[in-house]
Structure 1
Amino acid sequence: MITDRYRRAPPWRAALWSAALLLLTLPWVAMQFGDEVNWDLADFVWFGGMLLIACGLFELAARLISNRLYLWTVGLAIALSFLLVWAELAVGVFS
C-alpha cells in the first residue's frame, strides 16, 4: 500500500515547472541571436520571481481545490494576472 508520503507527484506539476523554466530561458536564447532583446540580471530576477509566484499560487490552488472547473478558473485568473503584470512591466500598458 502506498502512503501519502510516498505518493508520486501529478504529471502536470513537472509540466508546469518545465514550462516556467522554458519561459525563463527564452529571452536568454533570444539575446544570443540578435540585439532586439536586451535583458540584464534584474530583468531575469523579476521575471523569475513572477513565474515563481504564479506557479506557486497554482500549486497552492491545486492542493486546496478539488473541483476541476474551479481549478481551471483559478488557473486562468492566475495566468491573466501574470500576463497583465508582465505587460505593464514590459511596455507600460496602463500608464
Structure 2
Amino acid sequence: MKNKRLVGIVLIVCFLLIIPLLAILFTKEVNWNLADFVVAGVLLLGTGLICELVMRKVKKTYHRIILCTVILAALLLIWTELAVGLFGTPFAGT
C-alpha cells in the first residue's frame, strides 16, 4: 500500500470522532450535533493532511518537528476557541 500514512490519518480521525459519539450515547454531558462532528472532522483531517504534506515536502527533521508542532498548536488554539471562547471571537463556544 502506497499511502499508509494517509490511511492512518483517516483511521485516527475516525477513531477520535467515535469517542464523542459514544459519549453521547452514555451521558447527557456531551451535546454534539452534526455540525460539531463536521467541524471536528475537518479540523482533525485538515491538521493531519497538512502535517503529512510537511512530512513529504520538508527535508530536515528539525524543521518538520517545528512545523508540525506549530500546526498542532494552531489546532489546539482553534479547538479551544470553538469550545470555550478563549479569545472571545464570534465563533466562541458557550
TM-score (norm 2): 0.82
Per-residue CA deviation, residues 25-78 of structure 1 (Å, 9 max, x unaligned), is 111011111000010001001111111211111111111112111111111111
The one of 4, 16, 25 aligned to 2:18 = 25
Instruction: For 1:72 and 1:18, locate their aligned partners in 2 and report how far apart those are by CA, in whole Å.
Output: 22
Taking only the aligned residue pairs, the percentage that are identical comes to: 34
Q: Tell me which residue corresponds to 1:8.
A: 2
* RMSD (Å), alpha carbons: 1.7
Count of aligned residue pairs for this structure pair: 88
The runs of 5 or more residues in structure 2 that have no matched partner are 89-94
CA distance in 2, matches of 1:29, 1:43: 14
Would you say 1:60 and 2:60 are equivalent positions? no
Distance 1:71 1:13 in 2: 17
Which of 16, 39, 43 matches 1:46? 39
Could you list the runs of 4 or more consecutive aligned residues of structure 1 that deviate by over 6 angstroms after TM superposition?
none
Structure 1 gaps, min length 5: 1-6
Say which of 15, 36, 53 aligns to 2:29. 36
TM-score (ref. length: structure 1): 0.81
